[in-house]
Every structure is written in structure tokens, then in C-alpha cells.
Amino acid sequence: MADETKPASGDSAGLSNGLVSHGDHKSRRVYQAARSLHSGAVKDLLSLGVCERCIFRLVSVEAFDSDLSSVSASTLRSWLESGDEEAASSEESSCCIVCLGVLQFVFSDAKQTLVRSECGSDYAARVTDLVKEEGHEFDSFGLEVYVPATILENERAVLLYLKGKYNSESWLQSEKISVKDALKVLVLDPLKVSLGAKSDSSSFQIRLTYSKASDEAQGASETTRERKKRKTDEENGSTSMSENSFEKVYEPCILSIHCNKMPIFFSGRYFKYSRNVSQTRWIIDDERMGEASVEELIGGNILPACLGDSYKFHAAGREDIDSSIIQVRMLGSGRPFLIEVQNSRKCPSQQSLTEIEEKINKSEKKLVGVKDLKFIGSQCWAMMREGEAEKQKQYAAIVWIARPVEEKDIDSISSLKELKILQKTPVRVLHRRSPLERERTIHWMKVEKIKGSSHYFLLHLCTQAGTYIKEFVHGDLGRTTPSMGSILGCRAEIIQLDVTDVKMGDS
């Protein structure tokens, strides 16, 4: 390698960027790393408009780190004795043809204002201000960086040019750190300091998204012909760096910053006291069906406490509310549910959740009730899916039969244990569910007489999850066998139905 690439003699040589080579290990290392770069390749890249940080990424044999970012393009030129300071200053103010300003800490903000940071700490401070505006509570974070495809394409073109001209050089064979990974190297430590948080695979993510300025704003969009020529040059191994070898970009990227918290979950059990309340929002032709929904009455109270963007409601089964005359309440011990909150800014304390629970339970209309409301971690889905096959439900139904209820009917029904029934998909839901035949189990039944009414009785029953109770009573035109009607040998109809318990696994 030419002598100009070697460090100047003497340990006390002064450096043109103000560094002194003796007494400062970092400064000495940076100086030696810069002077070890291939001078011809550095001159070529500087003349093409490649920034100093991209030069270190592409040419240096040392691993890219934040120390190397202290070297400016003018310093490189000075060490290589290649050009005057005025020309260097002009080059430094332009947008790098490879990273498009990303590693120069230059970008346009949401208002199309040009922002230029002097160093990683300054850049991190700007990012921190925008993150704090979002109002998130966090003690750790993950950093994601997205860059436009143009950066990768231009870097590929530059590397192709270097390989054509300096193919025998060992530094070309080393793996190159990407622009987005290089940015993380430069700003991650300053971000940890300015945010006062550690960096890990956190549930809180900061996403830096760089997008190319519009072609109209640049006035330099790549034509189809230019793109085809550049691709042909690459395929043919062309070593000439023509004006069409890379996409010309004259403006730095637009930077948008988005913060996202992984969903958090709250569990509990709900009660539905009104037959005119659906489990989830029920809208038909833009018209609300029912008075309200469990989903809205619970989720609508939890979401503001989390300062989240939105929520999803999940429950262990559901109660019927449809066009039929039989609407179902949820009583007894309540039905297990989860509220999933997206991008929450804070996690309410248990005291706050208790207050939300009391607010719902003391509401004037008393449509819905809640108990055991709490924050729950990653085990939430395991809880909801646990033992689906073994999950049992208990019901209370008012049943009418075509003849008077006799004592032998009560004894006959109560004696049936673990009764196996076959159910085809009910007629009432065939329009939205596949026509299947399922075996279900009625674990036990108990009959309670209704005073003063010989044709009515209260039926308590415990069934396997997924059993169609209405159809078990009336038989659904023979689609459920046996049914209460076939067991009693007469017509049977269900008048009212309530869920009284939902048992999950060992609960």
C-alpha cells in the first residue's frame, strides 16, 4: 500500500481534526484506523459523494463502531492530501449517495423541515423528545430501523464498482455492516442515556422509519430505461461508475418515529344481567342491535385507564343473542374473559382496576357485572385455552312440555348421568356454520318444579362445552338425539335460558 496510507512517524503527531495521537487510546485507534484505509478507494468514494461513515463501513477492515464516526470527510481528505478544505466542506454538506443522510444524522421531519444533528447524542436527544411526546411508561426498549430499498441498491452498485477496481484487496471480502445496523451502533448508547432506560428485547419498541423523499420533490426519479441499464451493468460486472449506476437522490430521507407497546391483558369474569345485551358489538345495516354490549361496557372503561390505542375482547364462549325470542343471560360465577389493550401508555394499578370494577358494578342500569378484574401476563392464552375439551357449563332453563309434569319425569331426568347426544348443526345457525354432526355429553340434570304451573319446570343441567342447549330441549326437528322431548315422549320447548357457571379446567 502507498506510504500515504501509513501513520505519520512519531507518537506525538498532530491530527488535523484536533485529535492527538499520543496519550489518548481512542483517538490513536481512530487515527490509525483512518490511515489504514485504502487511499485510492477512499478518494474514489469521496469524489462520488459517499459519506465518511459509509466509507468506514465499506472499506475498513476493523469492525464499525461509534469511535470511527468522529472522523470527518475533511479529515480524511487532509490525511490523504487530496483536495482543499473548501471542496471538502462542500462535499460534507451534501447527502451521501449510499445512506441518503441516515448515517450523517440528516433527515426531514414530518413538517418537511430539514434536521441536522452534529453527533449521535444530539440525534438521540431529538428522538427522545419525540418518544416522550407519546407518553409511554417503560424502563427498557427495543430499537427497530427501516430504510428504503434505494439504500441497498446504491450500496450494491458502489460495492460492485469497488470490486471491479480493487478486487484483490482483502478488505473487500469482509462482511459489511448494514446502514440500519450501523445507525444502531451510533445511537443506541446515547439513546439509553437520554431515555434513562436499558435496551433489550423489550415489549416496548421504538421504530425509526426512513422513507425516500418523493420523486417530485427530488426532480430526479430513475426512469425505467436507467433502471434497466443499471441492472445490466451489474449483471455484466461493469466497473464504470456512470451517472445511472445508482439512483440519484438529492434530498435526505424523511424520518418518522413510531412507538409501540406489545399488547397487555386483563382477565376477569363477567355477568350479563340483561337479555337485551350482546357479548360484542352487534351492528346490522349500520343499526345497533341490543341495548349495549359486554365488550363496550368493560373494554370502554379499561382502555382510558391504559391510555391505549384500541382493545380487543376475548371470552370463553358466548351467550346467544339473535333474532330468536330466547336471549341468554350470564349469571352464577360469571364467564371468563380477556381484554387485550394495544399500545398502552401505562398499566393501571390493581387499585385502579378495583375502582373500574366497582364503577361497572354500580352503574345505574346494572346491565353487566365484573369480578376478579386483574392484570395478567403471558399465561393469559393458556388460561383461556386450557382444557377446552373438558370445559363444562351449567345452565338454568325454564322448559314447557305438552303434558303435565309427573314425579316419574323428575326421577327419570335426574337419573341420567353422562348422557351422550348427537347434534347436527342447528337450523338457526346453518347460514353461518358448517353442517356437521357432533357428539356432546350432558353430565347431569336436575328438575325443579315451578309452583302453580303443571306444564313448566326449571331444568338445571351441566354439559360439555359446545352443547346446543335450546336444541337439546326441543330436538330441532330431529337434528338432536336424544332430546328432552324424546326422553319425555312429548313436545318440549325452552322458554328462558341462563348460563349459571363456566368451569375452566380445574376451576
Chain-centroid distance, C-alpha 182: 24
For the purposes of burial, counting CB atoms within 10 Å of the CB of 205, is it exposed (0-12), middle (13-18) or buried (19 or more)? middle
Mean pLDDT of the chain: 81
Contacts of 143 (CB under 8 A, 6+ apart): 184, 187, 188, 191, 199, 205, 206, 208
- Which DSSP symbol is given to 377? -
Task: Indicate whether this model's pTM tops 0.75.
Answer: no
120-133 and 179-195 are packed helices; what angle lies between their axes, rounded to 10 degrees?
70
Q: CA distances (Å), 420 to each of 397, 424, 440, 441, 467, in order?
A: 19, 14, 6, 5, 11
CA distance 39 to 48: 14
Band of the pLDDT at 484, cuts 50, 70, 90? very high
315-340 pLDDT, tens per residue? 887 776 554 555 788 888 888 899 99
**Number of C-alpha atoms within 13 angstroms, CB side, residue 322?**
9
Which has more confidence, 240 or 376? 376
The answer to whether the peptide bond before residue 482 is cis (omega within 30 degrees of 0) is yes
φ, ψ of residue 476 to 5 degrees: the values are 55, 50
Active-site residue set: 320
423-432 pLDDT, tens per residue? 999 998 888 7
Question: How many Cβ atoms sit within 10 Å of the Cβ of residue 308?
Answer: 22
Helical residues (DSSP H) of 36-111, grouped into ranges? 39-48, 52-59, 73-79, 85-92
**Number of C-alpha atoms within 13 angstroms, CB side, residue 290?**
26
Mean pLDDT of 279-283: 78
- The 3-state DSSP composition of the chain as helix, strand, coil percent (nearest 5) reads 35, 25, 40
Chain-centroid distance, C-alpha 176: 29
